[in-house]
Amino acid sequence: MGLIDIINEFLSKTVDEYSENGHKATLEATDSNGLIDIAYYTYWFDDYSKEFGSMPFFYKIAQTDIAPFIRKITVRGEDEGVNGTQNWDLATLLKAKPIFTHLEEFNLPLNDSETHHQKIVTYDDMYNENGALGFLLDAAPKLKSLTAPSAPSANFFERENHSLTELNLQSGYTHQNFIKNLAASTCFSSVAKLTFRDYAQTYMDDYEKDCVPYEQYEALFNATGLPMLKEITLIATVITAEQQAALAKQAESKGIALSFLAE
Q: CATH number for the domain including 248? A: 3.40.50
* Residues 49 and 122 grouped into a single domain: yes
Helices (H) and strands (E) in the chain, counts: 7, 11
| Domain identity same for 97 and 179 | no
Quote the CA–CA distance of 58 and 139 in Å, as a whole number.
13
Claim to verify: residue 11 and residue 134 sit in the same structural domain: yes
Q: Is the same domain home to 38 and 61?
A: yes
Distance of CA 224 to the CA centre of its chain: 24
Instruction: Please indicate, yes or no, whether residues 158 and 212 belong to a single structural domain of this protein.
Output: yes
Query: Beta strand pairing status for 231-235 and 257-261?
Result: parallel
Q: Mark which of 150, 177, 207 sits at the end of a domain.
A: 150
Question: Same domain, yes or no, for 174 and 260?
Answer: yes
9 — pLDDT class (breaks 50, 70, 90): confident
Residue 51 has a pLDDT of: 46
Please say which residue of 120, 150, 180 terminates a domain.
150
What is the rounded distance in angstroms from the CA atom of residue 104 to the CA atom of residue 250? 31
Residues 161 and 80 in one domain: no
Work out the percent of the chain whose per-residue pLDDT is above 90: 66
The reported pLDDT for the residue numbered 20 is 53
Does 219 lie in the same domain as 177?
Answer: yes
Domain region containing 184: 153-263
Higher pLDDT, 238 or 24: 238
For residues 1 and 71, the model is more confident at: 71
User: According to the model, what pLDDT value does residue 44 have?
Assistant: 66
Same domain, 90 and 194: no
**Cross-strand partners of 106:** 73, 146
Residues 209 and 113 in one domain: no
Q: Which tens digit of pLDDT belongs to each residue from 54-105?
A: 567 788 889 888 899 999 999 998 888 888 899 999 998 999 899 999 999 9
3-state secondary structure of 80: coil
Least confident of 113-122, 174-183, 186-195, 212-221: 113-122
Domain final residue pick, 150, 172, 198: 150
Q: What is the mean pLDDT of the chain?
A: 89
- Is residue 234 located within the same domain as residue 246? yes
Residues 126, 16 share a domain: yes
The residues facing 235 across adjacent strands are: 197, 261
Number of structural domains in the chain: 2
List Cβ neighbours of 207 (8 Å cut-off, separation of 6 or more).
199, 200, 201
